[in-house]
Amino acid sequence: MNDTYIIYGGELSYFTRKLEAAMIFYGADHELRSKTPDVAADVEQRSGTHQVPVLHTPENWMIGDTTPLLHLLDERFVDRRMFPTGPQGIMVQAVEELFDEWVARVMVHYRWHYPASAEFASLRMAGGNPAAAARVRDWGPRACRATGTESAHQQQAAEAEYVRILDALEKQLKHTRYALGDRPTAVDCILLGGLRAHTNMDPDPKKVVSGYPGVVAWAQGGADNWDGSGDIAAFPQTTDFAQFALNDLGTQYRPFVLGNAESLAAGAKAFHFETYGEDVSYLTRPYPEQSRNMIRRRINRLSDVEQATLRSWLAEYPVAECF
């Protein structure tokens, strides 16, 4: 059996590059392929999704959704897990969730609200075809509206949020090799996904990222040379970066994910909540609820003692009610 994993996705895709980073950390034989028209129908039919990435495994499975994929791959590469076991793994997944479901909107904003970035990305996605690129650019503003960055105030707030992320990561990388310690986790995968697909790729956010030389070096290959050694902080302790993410990003993630859950239960198409001092509308989506329920189920599988320890730790952060 061929041992190569094939990632069907795109070099400018947040979650494709997240999965690619994980495969590098696993030390897995893999290649990244575009979901071209000649394979798209088969990939979508077999995986059950039109989204990317989709992973084609050596046993000929086609699977989508990066977080469950990382859990699957953790069982194959047990010495290189992206999610540790026990409460420590819940901590990693809670931090990862903030970047998967909240910070993704920042990437969408940077790409589609800046003309130079929109032109660059759309042409690259369309293989240089101007007509196809124009259709891609038409989609961009709708994605921004759906994720709450339509107003100038929200655009400025999103960019300020990302600068705080870069500040925190630059400081952390002076003390540890990765965001949560001296070995990579799923958090590093999504951070690298954002940098490699968006903010250190598109011309406008790249100007911002260039002010953080440690982050740039890490994203441009410094993160990849992991020999399998090292540890992350022993639970319930964690790094300054993780504490920053849970406190800063968690303050906005909490009303977002709870509002989405209520809206989904009510069958509403959209919901509102105050984001950075402004009432903002968001498109109701099933996936954020599915994703947070993955964490809740993992918590319920812990022992009573582990659950008590974890809930005591979570109570210190604004995301506690979410899980």
State pLDDT tens for residues 135-172. Answer: 999 999 999 999 999 999 999 999 999 999 999 999 99
Residue 1 has pLDDT above 70, yes or no: no
Residue 275 has pLDDT above 80, yes or no: yes
State pLDDT tens for residues 74-101. Answer: 999 999 999 999 999 999 999 999 999 9
d(CA 53, CA 6): 10
Residue 8 has pLDDT above 80, yes or no: yes
State pLDDT tens for residues 25-75. Answer: 999 999 999 998 899 999 999 999 999 999 999 999 999 999 999 999 999
d(CA 157, CA 148): 11
- The answer to whether 197 and 14 are in contact (CB under 8 A) is yes
Q: Quote the pTM value.
A: 0.97
Reported in sequence order, the residue ranges of the chain that DSSP labels E, i.e. its strands, are: 5-9, 30-34, 54-56, 62-64, 270-275, 278-283
Which two tokens mark 163? Answer: 């600068």
Q: Does domain 5-80 have CATH number 3.40.190.10?
A: no
CB atoms under 10 Å from CB of 25, counted, come to: 26
pLDDT of residue 234: 87
State pLDDT tens for residues 164-194. Answer: 999 999 999 999 999 999 999 999 999 999 9
CA–CA–CA angle 110, 47, 77 (5° rounding): 85
The pairing of strands 278-283 and 62-64 is unpaired
